[in-house]
C-alpha cells in the first residue's frame, strides 16, 4: 500500500512507452522474480499487491511457522525457465546475494544455453530487491548481458513499485498458486512437484499473451 509518487509514475510511463516502441524485444526480454509458496496454502502478500486509494477490507490467518519453498523463475514470450528453488541441504533458505548469483550462474544461464538462446541477444530484467543489486551480482550481470539489463542501478532502470509490469507478478505466480494446492500437497516434496507440474501447463501461447 505504498503511495506512488510523481517520479515513480513518470518512470512507469516511460518504461511502458519504451517497451511498446521496441516490440522487437518481446522475445528477447527474460523477466525474473522470486515467490514464496507455503505448504499451508498461504499467499504471501509481498507478491500479491492491491493498488488503490483506500485500504482493502480483508485479513487472513496463517500458522506461526509455516513450511514453504522459495521459487525463482524467468519468463519471456518463448516460455518459462525454472522453477529453481532456493535451498541448501534440501532445506528452504533465505534469498541473499550469493545464493541468487549461484542460481543465475549455475541454473539460469545453462538452461538458456540448453534451449539454444543466443546470450548476446538476450535482455534480462530483475526488480530492485537488495540481493539483486549487490555489487557482485550487478558486476556479473553486466559482464554477461552488457547494457541489455533492466534493473535498478543500470542504464535501463526498472520502475519502482511496478509488480504490475512484470508478467510473473501479475500472472504467473497467481496462476500457479491457483493450481498447486489442488489437490493440496501434504509435504514440501509434494509442493515442489506440484509447482513443477503446473508450470508445465503454462503453455507458450500464455507466455506470449502476457509479456
C-beta neighbour count of 154 within 10 angstroms: 19
Whole-number pLDDT of residue 208 = 80
Whole-number pLDDT of residue 129 = 93
Whole-number pLDDT of residue 62 = 53
Whole-number pLDDT of residue 42 = 56
**pTM tops 0.75, yes or no:** yes
**Which residues share a beta bridge with 151?**
157
Q: Does domain 25-46+62-210 have CATH number 3.30.420.10?
A: yes
Residues of the chain with pLDDT under 70: 1-2, 42-65
Whole-number pLDDT of residue 143 = 96
C-beta neighbour count of 159 within 10 angstroms: 21
Q: What is the mean pLDDT of the chain?
A: 86
Distance (Å, whole) CA 133 – CA 127: 9
Give 15: exposed, middle or buried? Use CB within 10 Å, 0-12, 13-18, 19+: middle
Whole-number pLDDT of residue 162 = 81
Distance (Å, whole) CA 143 – CA 51: 36
pLDDT digits (tens, 9 = 90+) for 83-122: 999 999 889 999 999 999 999 999 999 999 999 999 999 9
Amino acid at each position: 500500500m505504498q503511495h506512488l509518487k510523481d517520479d515513480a509514475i513518470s518512470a512507469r510511463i516511460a518504461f511502458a512507452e519504451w517497451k511498446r516502441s521496441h516490440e522487437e524485444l518481446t522475445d528477447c526480454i527474460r523477466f525474473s522474480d522470486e515467490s514464496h509458496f507455503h505448504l499451508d496454502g498461504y499467499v504471501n502478500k509481498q507478491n500479491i499487491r492491491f493498488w488503490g486509494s483506500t485500504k482493502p477490507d480483508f485479513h487472513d490467518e496463517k500458522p506461526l511457522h509455516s513450511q514453504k519453498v522459495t521459487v525463482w523463475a524467468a519468463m519471456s514470450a518463448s516460455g518459462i525457465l525454472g522453477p529453481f528453488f532456493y535451498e541448501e541441504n534440501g532445506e528452504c533458505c533465505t534469498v541473499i546475494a550469493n545464493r541468487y548469483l549461484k542460481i543465475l550462474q549455475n541454473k539460469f544461464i545453462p538452461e538458456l544455453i540448453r534451449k539454444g538462446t543466443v546470450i548476446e541477444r538476450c535482455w534480462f530484467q530483475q526488480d530492485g530487491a537488495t540481493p539483486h543489486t549487490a555489487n557482485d551480482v550487478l558486476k556479473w550481470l553486466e559482464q554477461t548481458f552488457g547494457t541489455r539489463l533492466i534493473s535498478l542501478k543500470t542504464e535501463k532502470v526498472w520502475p519502482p513499485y511496478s509488480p504490475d509490469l512484470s508478467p510473473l507478478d501479475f500472472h504467473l505466480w497467481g496462476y500457479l498458486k491457483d493450481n498447486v494446492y489442488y489437490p493440496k500437497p501434504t509435504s514440501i516434496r509434494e509442493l515442489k512437484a506440484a509447482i513443477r507440474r503446473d508450470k508445465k501447463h503454462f503453455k507458450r501461447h500464455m507466455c506470449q499473451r502476457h509479456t
